């Protein structure tokens, strides 16, 4: 997989030149005149996929369903050849056919992980209410599709908090580069690398949960399953189109192999389910496999804006204050739009944090950091407006009112899931504790640094 492979594209044949995509692009990568076909400047594009979500130019699925030109288009996009939905102008080239071929063979031990935002969106593809929470059915359907192990990105989100929280505490105590930026959103990371290379040191060195999970599957997980790492095929189900790009970054192979072999969006997962003829609505609830599928409430709220910050604070507070956090809900950092400045009293110090929803809102803050005027310690940035629940690979809404409603419902369900879980803090996840005890040692230790951290750099990756 390469950056070019996962690039978001606009099909000039279907584009009407409405420029709605240009209005939502956070990096002004859409180019063209009103009423004419648009194009994407790939040097600017961060592959967030928001143009895909809003695109309204399409070819109908009713006309010439089996015609040759349509079949060619579907093949170019790596989509099911019998897909019964409109082909929109803005699209990404998928991995559906690749993963389907792997699952139909017997060559690999296939492991799948699911991001937190998928379980509050996948049901929409099958006529269920917007935002329906379906983790049990999600685990069940992935087994029926044919995956050998069904694990969870939420587990790796807890792992990310252990490393990121320890990194933040270390930076504060040692006077290292502050403020620290979150690094779990690949579109945000790419933007910093491309547009603010002088601020790269502010990014957390942590890999994203997707990449941490992929590394664990091919090391610790492979050992548990008694499978050679080169026989593990790792698939990530993500709400985000840029996750395809992230998996293809050349440095993402700390295990000695590609951490994540393929990324499917939520919509592509729906294609797999439909192709397998599975009735999603009638599936029983099942659990994710352990130990790499056990997660806390902190892991699941990674899917909404403010979630990474809240999850990190639940753990960082207890490290810095050396006492339990009585109430895990830190609602002040929650919010779907704009910028939220929140100060948290942590023992004898005040921890100043910033939560940014939507990449364009980060620009003034980046200029403050560049000028040495930032008065905060930690900043979360999510490129998409409501966080991962509004990612470019999520089910597509045709009406703006439905889009806004879907974001609210998915967010509500995410916090509902957090509230219902028996463990709410990442460091209290027993599977995480076991992983450090048996394999990683300690956060920021030699093994965890080698496998779970990376180096970001200024480099154009088309």
C-alpha 224 chain-centroid distance: 26
Catalytic residue among 163, 164, 268, 310: 164
Catalytic residue among 125, 246, 310, 428: 246
* Cβ 333 vs Cβ 162: under 8 Å: no
Q: How far apart are CA 301 and CA 299, in angstroms?
A: 6
C-alpha torsion 262→263→267→273, nearest 10 = 40
E-assigned strand segments in 95-159: 109-114, 149-150
Other Cβ atoms closer than 10 A to 412? 16
- Torsion sign (Cα): 187, 193, 198, 204: positive
**Does the active-site annotation cover 251?**
yes
CA angle 10, 12, 15 (to 5 degrees): 80
Instruction: Give the helix ranges, DSSP H, for 238-384.
Output: 242-247, 266-275, 297-300, 307-321, 363-370
Catalytic residue among 204, 255, 296, 426: 204
| 330 φ/ψ angles, rounded to the nearest 5 degrees | -115, 75
**Does the active-site annotation cover 459?**
no
Catalytic residue among 167, 268, 336, 428: 167
* Cβ 313 vs Cβ 353: under 8 Å: yes
Catalytic residue among 25, 184, 242, 384: 184
* Cβ 253 vs Cβ 259: under 8 Å: yes
**Does the active-site annotation cover 164?**
yes
**Does the active-site annotation cover 218?**
no
**Does the active-site annotation cover 204?**
yes
Q: Which residues pair with 150 in a beta bridge?
A: 112
Other Cβ atoms closer than 10 A to 301? 29
Q: How far apart are CA 439 and CA 450, in angstroms?
A: 12
Catalytic residue among 31, 251, 367, 459: 251
Catalytic residue among 243, 244, 396, 425: 243
> Which residues are within 8 A (CB) of 15 and not within 5 positions of it... i.e. 6 or more apart?
37, 38, 57, 89, 90
Catalytic residue among 15, 218, 388, 428: 388
Question: SS3 of 461, please?
Answer: coil
**Does the active-site annotation cover 184?**
yes
Mode of pairing for the β-strands spanning 109-114 and 149-150: parallel
> Which residues are within 8 A (CB) of 398 and not within 5 positions of it... i.e. 6 or more apart?
56
Which residues are the active-site residues?
Answer: 164, 167, 184, 204, 243, 246, 251, 388
């Amino acid at each position: 997989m390469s950056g070019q492979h996962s690039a978001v594209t606009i099909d000039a044949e279907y584009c009407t030149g409405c420029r709605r995509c240009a209005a939502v692009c956070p990096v002004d990568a859409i180019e063209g005149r009103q009423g004419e076909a648009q194009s994407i400047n790939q040097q600017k594009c961060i592959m967030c996929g928001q143009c895909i979500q809003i695109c309204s130019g399409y070819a109908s699925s009713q006309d010439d369903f089996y015609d040759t030109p349509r079949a060619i288009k579907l093949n170019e996009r790596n989509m099911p050849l019998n897909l019964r939905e409109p082909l929109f102008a803005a699209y990404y080239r998928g991995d559906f056919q690749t993963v389907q071929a792997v699952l139909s063979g017997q060559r690999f031990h296939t492991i799948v992980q699911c991001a937190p935002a998928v379980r509050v969106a996948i049901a929409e593809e099958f006529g269920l209410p917007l935002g329906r929470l379906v983790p049990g059915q999600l685990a069940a359907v992935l087994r029926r599709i044919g995956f050998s192990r069904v694990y969870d990105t939420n587990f790796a989100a807890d792992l990310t908090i252990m490393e990121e929280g320890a990194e933040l505490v270390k930076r504060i105590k040692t006077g290292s580069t502050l403020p620290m930026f979150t690094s779990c959103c690949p579109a945000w990371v790419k933007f910093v690398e491309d547009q603010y290379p002088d601020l790269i040191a502010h990014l957390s060195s942590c890999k994203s949960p997707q990449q941490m999970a992929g590394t664990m599957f091919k090391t610790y997980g492979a050992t548990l399953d008694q499978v050679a790492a080169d026989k593990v095929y790792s698939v990530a189900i993500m709400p985000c189109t840029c996750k395809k790009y992230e998996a293809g970054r050349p440095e993402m192979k700390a295990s000695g192999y590609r951490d994540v072999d393929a990324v499917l969006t939520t919509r592509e997962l729906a294609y797999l389910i439909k192709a397998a003829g599975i009735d999603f609505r009638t599936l029983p609830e099942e659990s994710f496999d352990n130990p790499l599928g056990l997660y806390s409430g902190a892991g699941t709220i990674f899917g909404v804006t403010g979630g990474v910050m809240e999850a990190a604070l639940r753990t960082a507070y207890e490290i810095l204050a050396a006492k339990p956090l009585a109430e895990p809900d830190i609602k002040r950092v929650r919010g779907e739009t704009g910028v939220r400045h929140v100060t948290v009293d942590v023992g004898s110090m005040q921890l100043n944090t910033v939560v940014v929803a939507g990449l364009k809102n980060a620009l003034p803050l980046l200029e403050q950091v560049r000028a040495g005027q930032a008065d905060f310690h930690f900043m979360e940035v999510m490129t998409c407006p409501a966080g991962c629940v509004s990612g470019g690979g999520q089910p597509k809404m045709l009406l703006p009112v439905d889009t806004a409603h879907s974001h609210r419902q998915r967010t509500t369900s995410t916090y509902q899931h957090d509230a219902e879980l028996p463990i709410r803090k990442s460091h209290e996840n027993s599977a995480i504790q076991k992983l450090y005890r048996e394999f990683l040692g300690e956060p920021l230790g030699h093994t965890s640094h080698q496998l779970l951290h990376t180096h970001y750099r200024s480099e154009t990756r088309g």
